[in-house]
């Protein structure tokens, strides 16, 4: 089915209000899920929303707590999320990083003891919409084996990098350091499809493109094999050092994926270039990427974030596609 953005936003907001959110925070949080869905990131939009509501109902997330600053100096601040609502904590943290960058040229916020931020790319777009280069990442629970190992020891810690353009068509990379995020694997299974490329191991230890098999074993494939494994470890180390909060191996002892450590960095390019020069640099590189000869003559080589931008235009015009079983789950969260 297709659902208009405003209608979806209203349903999300109503459900969050019924779970104790203030009007302002309910709208802000609902917009994260609605915008993710609008951009075609359904795995962290409509599909993930019922699970987040279950965390609220179990008391894993307190909708009333707000993050607090522990200390800061120059362009760096450390914040405690107090296990509050992940997307709201993350939005505040990226805003603070951008504020610091406006003052110092670069700003960095370490946010500890927070919760799942949903789609990390949201905060890359947020920074870019303020004219900032944005870099952020989060650790996760242990959901991926270190390269050469069998059991999950490291996280598929999502990494985001964003570069602004004055026309709003920003360049935004949002990637888990696994070949596919668990959200993508779940979405592919729900659609009854196979992954485009092998994304993990089956119960016999073989690489597979079957999402259901990967969910059984929990052995997702690090992107770039040992390179993705090493990147995951370093992202966890840096996030834990800057926040003095929870590393992956401690998060895995919690009942759910909560108490995460995250880092938000913003860089103000206006300190070194005017916007016309930055646009010229970015457009020159993007134009060269677009000039690539596609492997499939019917397709086009896209830059990171372009598909989300095009999907946003299409879904704004036609409505957001939502699976029937997902809509039923969302409707079941409504308190009448």
Q: Give 16-38 pLDDT, tens digit per residue.
A: 999 999 999 999 999 999 999 99
pLDDT at position 336 over 80: no
The answer to whether the CB of 107 falls within 8 A of the CB of 98 is yes
What mean pLDDT comes out for the span 65-90? 95
pLDDT at position 127 over 90: yes
- Which residue in 44, 82, 170, 290 is the catalytic one? 44
- Bridge partners of 161, per DSSP, are 135, 173
In this predicted structure, what is the pLDDT of residue 255? Answer: 80
In this predicted structure, what is the pLDDT of residue 191? Answer: 87
pLDDT band at 184 (very low <50, low <70, confident <90, very high): confident
What mean pLDDT comes out for the span 261-269? 98
Which tens digit of pLDDT belongs to each residue from 280-295?
Answer: 999 999 999 999 999 9
Which tens digit of pLDDT belongs to each residue from 211-264?
Answer: 999 998 888 999 999 999 999 999 999 999 999 999 999 999 998 888 999 999
Residue ranges in the chain assigned as alpha helix (H): 5-17, 23-38, 49-58, 86-104, 121-129, 182-190, 211-217, 226-243, 248-251, 275-290, 306-318, 324-332
Alpha-carbon span 229 to 8, nearest angstrom: 37
Pick from 19, 51, 334: nearest CA to 183:
51
The yes-or-no answer on residue 44 being catalytic is yes
pLDDT at position 160 over 90: yes
Q: What is the pTM of this model?
A: 0.91
**Chain-wide mean pLDDT for the chain?**
94
Pick from 134, 115, 31: nearest CA to 65:
115
Which tens digit of pLDDT belongs to each residue from 68-78?
Answer: 999 999 999 99
The answer to whether the CB of 105 falls within 8 A of the CB of 268 is yes
């Amino acid at each position: 089915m297709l659902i208009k953005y405003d209608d979806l936003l209203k349903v999300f907001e109503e459900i969050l209000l019924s779970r104790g959110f203030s009007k302002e925070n309910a709208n802000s949080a609902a917009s994260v899920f609605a915008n993710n869905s609008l951009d075609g990131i359904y795995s962290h939009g409509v599909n993930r929303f019922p699970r987040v509501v279950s965390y609220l109902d179990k008391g894993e997330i307190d909708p009333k707590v707000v993050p607090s600053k522990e200390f800061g100096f120059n362009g760096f601040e450390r914040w405690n999320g107090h296990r509050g609502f992940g997307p709201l904590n993350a939005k505040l943290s990226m805003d603070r990083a951008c504020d610091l960058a406006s003052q110092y040229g670069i700003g960095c916020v370490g946010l500890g003891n927070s919760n799942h931020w949903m789609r990390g790319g949201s905060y890359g777009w947020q920074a870019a919409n303020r004219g900032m280069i944005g870099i952020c990442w989060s650790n996760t629970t242990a959901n991926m084996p270190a390269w050469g190992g069998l059991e999950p020891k490291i996280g598929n810690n999502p990494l985001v990098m964003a570069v602004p353009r004055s026309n709003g068509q920003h360049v935004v990379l949002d990637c888990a350091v696994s070949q596919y995020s668990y959200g993508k694997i779940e979405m592919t299974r729900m659609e009854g499809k196979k992954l485009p490329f092998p994304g993990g191991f089956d119960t016999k230890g073989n690489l597979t493109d079957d999402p259901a098999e990967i969910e059984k074993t929990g052995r997702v494939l690090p992107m770039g094999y040992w390179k993705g494994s090493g990147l995951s470890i370093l992202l966890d180390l840096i996030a834990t050092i800057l926040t003095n909060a929870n590393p992956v191996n401690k998060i895995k002892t919690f009942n759910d994926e909560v108490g995460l450590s995250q880092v938000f960095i913003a860089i103000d390019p206006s300190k070194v270039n005017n916007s016309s020069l930055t646009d010229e640099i970015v457009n020159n590189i993007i134009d060269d990427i677009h000039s690539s000869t596609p492997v499939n003559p019917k397709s086009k080589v896209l830059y990171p974030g372009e598909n989300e931008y095009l999907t946003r235009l299409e879904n704004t015009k036609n409505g957001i596609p939502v699976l029937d079983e997902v809509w039923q789950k969302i409707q079941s969260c409504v308190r009448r």
